[in-house]
Amino acid sequence: MTIKEALEQRHSVRQFEEKSIDEELVVKLKAGIATVNKESGLHVQMFNDEPEAFQANKPSYGQFSGCRNYFAMVGGKGMDEKIGYYGQQLVLFSQQLGLNTCWVALTYKKGGVNPKISSGEKLYIIIALGYGKTQGASHKLKEMSAVSDLSSDSPDWYRNGMEAALLAPTAMNQQKFRFSRSGNKVSAKAGMGFYTKIDLGIVKYNFEIGAGKENFIWV
Check if the beta carbon of residue 44 is closer than 8 Å to that of residue 86. yes
Q: What pLDDT, on the 0 to 100 scale, is given for residue 112? A: 84
Which residues are CB-neighbours of 152 under 8 A, at least 6 positions away? none
What tens digit of pLDDT does each residue of 179-190 get?
999 999 999 999
Q: Judging by beta carbons within 10 Å of its beta carbon (0-12, 13-18, 19+), is residue 185 exposed, middle or buried?
A: exposed
Structure-derived torsion over alpha carbons of residues 90, 24, 117, 56, reported in degrees to the nearest 10: 90
Q: First vs last Cα of the chain: how many Å apart?
A: 31
**Does residue 25 contact residue 131 with C-beta atoms inside 8 Å?**
no
Closest by CA position to 93, among listed 14, 28, 163, 167:
28
Question: Of residues 217 and 65, which shows the higher confidence score?
Answer: 217
pLDDT digits (tens, 9 = 90+) for 104-152: 987 788 788 899 999 999 999 999 999 999 999 888 899 999 999 999 9
Of all residues in the chain, what percent carry a pLDDT higher than 90?
A: 82
Whole-number average pLDDT of the chain: 94
Is 3-130 a CATH 1.10.8.60 domain?
no
Q: What is the DSSP letter of 53?
A: G
User: Is CATH 3.80.10.10 correct for 144-212?
Assistant: no
Residue 78 has pLDDT above 80, yes or no: yes
Domains 3-130 and 144-212 share a fold: yes
Q: Are strands 185-190 and 45-47 parallel, antiparallel or unpaired?
A: unpaired
**Residue pair 15/134 in contact by the 8 Å Cβ criterion:** yes
Kindly give the pairing relationship between strand 70-76 and strand 45-47: antiparallel
Q: Is residue 101's pLDDT more than 60?
A: yes
pTM (predicted TM-score): 0.94
* Domains of the chain by residue range: 3-130, 144-212
